[in-house]
Amino acid sequence: MIYRTHYIRQIQNSLRRSRITAILGPRQCGKTTLAKEIALNIKSHFLDLESPTDRVKLQNPELYLKHIKGLIIIDEIQLMPELFPILRVLVDQSSDNGQFLILGSASPNLVKNASESLAGRVEFVDLQGFDLTETGNTKLNRLWIRGGFPRSYLADTNEDSIAWRDGFVRTFLQRDIPQLGISIPATTLRRFWTMLAHSHGQILNSSQLGRSMGMNDKTIRSYIDILSDTYMIRPLQPWFANLKKRQVNSPKVYLTDTGLLHYLLGINNLDTLLGHPVLGSSWESFAMEQIIRNNPGIEPYFWSTYSGAELDLLLFMKKKKIGIEFKFTDTPKSTKSMHSAITDLELEKLYVIYPGLEQYPLHTSIEAIPLSGFIDQIRKDNS
């Protein structure tokens, strides 16, 4: 069992400030477990909208909910979007009504209804699977290979973890996507998802994907939006500097969970990954996700020119431009591209994140640093 102290504190602070707190995240990332931990020491009522019994209770939701005191937890709320305006009425009518903790698999409907109906009344907490600060650096390879979904990471054996990921993918495609009102054949979306896994970390080429799938660019972009809105992929947007150089203006696309990436590519263990062409981009996305999750509220970018200069990750931290490169090597070196990025983007510092243990300078403005060391550094800066 891993106690997610940081998220618990974040949710408790949100409940202190707001009448309604919404936890958004993919299925099976631990939303319900966290909510039940929050509810242990306070008066609470739990409603699961996947339960027929609980749905019957909400046949007249306003009448039922307005008489409940304490914390009201509503799980999978996207299954009853008609609840959003009712929650707005309840919190506006009286401060005596209970507080609401609403949980839902990230979806366009959930975000759209909550943001429109509950504007100014709801605080959002984004939840993902485990990260390195929760598992510890000694478990880095396990987290990288299996991904952060709790049941995948905590499985007794590697075979059990793979079996869980297989079931997750099937359920996501065959049940979760249709529940969002999206009518795409499961086989089609799985094929598209797998194609993205094979081009993981590359510049999005909608036309090429469209030709491979027999679809137009508009359909490809809609599939990208679906997988992005459900936290399955991260489109990383390009940064444009005021330069004479031609710069890339299409996003890169990464699968957010490396466990699912490895499953879709048939990579079952570290030995297989170390000999696979996706090794570098897998390490890049794993380390990038750890950094982004530990910098809530930041806007991440990448930068690339057609002349070959590029930067894996550009962050604005305390009004400083910080550049990050990801290298899966024991002996990272500074490169011409790194120096171009420092000059063209006027970077305060460029860090090379690598899987080693020591932090040391590569140049005046370039420093090699382990992933865990960089996360510790940014958490200190943000505290």
339 shares a domain with 311: yes
- Which tokens in the block code for residue 102? 């609403």
Q: Which residues pair with 122 in a beta bridge?
A: 20
Amino acid at 41: N
The residue among 126, 152, 180 that closes a domain is: 126
> What is the band of 134 on the pLDDT scale with cuts at 50, 70, 90?
very high
308 shares a domain with 228: yes
pLDDT in tens, 203-260: 999 999 999 999 999 999 999 999 998 999 999 999 987 777 788 889 999 999 999 9
Among candidate residues 174, 177, 175, 149, the one with its CA nearest the CA of residue 163: 149
183 shares a domain with 293: yes
Amino acid at 72: I
CB 50 within 8 A of CB 75: yes
106 shares a domain with 21: yes
Q: Which residues pair with 321 in a beta bridge?
A: 316
281 shares a domain with 218: yes
CATH of the domain at 262: 1.10.10.10
CATH of the domain at 17: 3.40.50.300
Count up the domains in the chain and report the number.
2
CB 303 within 8 A of CB 310: yes
174 shares a domain with 136: yes
Residues 6+ apart with CB under 8 A from 240: 247, 249
CB 30 within 8 A of CB 152: no
The pTM of the whole model exceeds 0.85? yes
In a 10 Å sphere around its CB, with 0-12 CB exposed, 13-18 middle and 19+ buried, how is residue 43 labelled? exposed
278 shares a domain with 148: yes
Stronger pLDDT, 211 or 318, i.e. the higher one: 211
pLDDT in tens, 87-113: 988 888 876 667 999 998 866 566 677
322 shares a domain with 196: yes
Could you tell me the residue range of the domain that residue 39 belongs to?
Answer: 5-126
Instruction: In whole angstroms, give the CA distance from residue 23 to residue 38.
Output: 12
pLDDT in tens, 255-308: 999 999 999 999 999 999 999 999 999 999 999 999 998 887 788 999 998 888
Amino acid at 302: F
Residues 6+ apart with CB under 8 A from 51: none
Write down the pLDDT at residue 161: 98
280 shares a domain with 225: yes
73 shares a domain with 36: yes
In order of 46, 71, 77, 102, 221, the CA distances from 176 in angstroms are 22, 27, 13, 18, 20
The residue among 126, 153, 172 that closes a domain is: 126
322 shares a domain with 194: yes
- At residue 84's C-alpha, the angle toward residues 23 and 65, to 5°, is 95
The residue among 92, 126, 160 that closes a domain is: 126
Alpha carbon of residue 129 to chain centroid: 8
pLDDT in tens, 189-206: 999 999 999 999 999 999
286 shares a domain with 186: yes
Return mean pLDDT, the chain: 91
Write down the pLDDT at residue 69: 85
CB 103 within 8 A of CB 32: yes
